[in-house]
Amino acid sequence: MPRFLLTLGCGAILLAGGMSIAAAADLPPPVYVPAAQVFSWTGFYIGANAGYGWSNASGTLTTTTGSEPFNFTGNGFVGGAQMGYNWQAGPAVFGAEADFQGTTISGPFTASAGPAISATDKGPWFGTVRARVGYAMDRFMVYATGGGVYGDISMSGTVTPSVSFSSSTTFWTWTAGVGAEMAFWGCWSGKLEYLYIGTPNRSPAIPTVTALSGTVSSNIVRAGINYHF
């Protein structure tokens, strides 16, 4: 009797094992699911941008006959191209960017005392060289930026009674701003950026004006697109 029970038990074990093997053979093969890749901002990029700019200035100019106040308000289109490099370490992104812009920013420049000055002030082009420090959340990044600005200012008009003039000068100043950028498809990303530009270190020559002091505040809002290598 014990031998019969032992034989019966071994048979049941073998039968269960065979059923398990058969069931496993009927299962579909395992499917490999690759791990999700995290986007990296590291590398070179180039792109283009377009936007709007506006400037305000006020101060005092000194002429051959005394001092008088001046003011300026201008606005216009801004557009150009940029290139740069990013390096990412964890969520932190460090980079450098340079851009060159053409603009239609212009407005009236007037002085109300002494020899009356009536002119049009223009900023036909400028460029920036800036550092960028950002925080990345996969394909989305916010950043702060700052650096130097170089450009051109031109002015043309008349000085009372009827002296016409036209002059221009190049300048240096500083800029700081913030932005957000998102990689939306393949190697392409789009950005929205704001820059504040400080008072230029030089201004165009004006007849009878021997000195000019004041402040200029310029603002740029632009959207851009970048291709990352």
Per-residue pLDDT of the chain (229 residues; tens, 9 = 90+): 444 433 434 444 434 444 444 444 555 666 655 555 678 999 999 999 999 999 999 999 888 788 888 889 999 999 999 999 999 999 999 999 999 999 999 999 988 767 788 999 999 999 999 999 999 999 999 999 999 999 999 999 999 877 899 999 999 999 999 999 999 999 999 999 999 999 999 999 998 888 888 999 999 999 999 999 9
pLDDT of residue 224: 98
pLDDT of residue 208: 85
Helix (H, G, I), strand (E, B) or coil at 21: helix
pLDDT of residue 223: 98
CATH annotation of 43-228: 2.40.160
Distant-in-sequence, close-in-space partners of 164: CB < 8 Å, separation ≥ 6 = 156, 157, 158
Residues 57 and 53: their CA atoms lie apart, in Å, by 14
Residue 117 corresponds to which amino acid?
I
Residue 175 corresponds to which amino acid?
T
Task: Enumerate the domain spans of the chain.
Answer: 43-228
pLDDT of residue 34: 53
Positive/negative CA dihedral, 20, 22, 27, 28: positive
pLDDT of residue 31: 62
Tell the residue number behind the tokens 């340079």, with chain if given.
98
The DSSP annotation for 149-195 comes to EEEEEEEEEEETTTEEEEEEEEEEEEEEEEEEEEEEETTEEEEEEEE
Residues 83 and 98: their CA atoms lie apart, in Å, by 6
Residues 90 and 42: their CA atoms lie apart, in Å, by 11
Q: Which residues of the chain form beta strands (DSSP E)?
A: 43-63, 66-89, 92-103, 106-111, 117-137, 140-159, 163-185, 188-197, 209-228
pLDDT of residue 70: 87
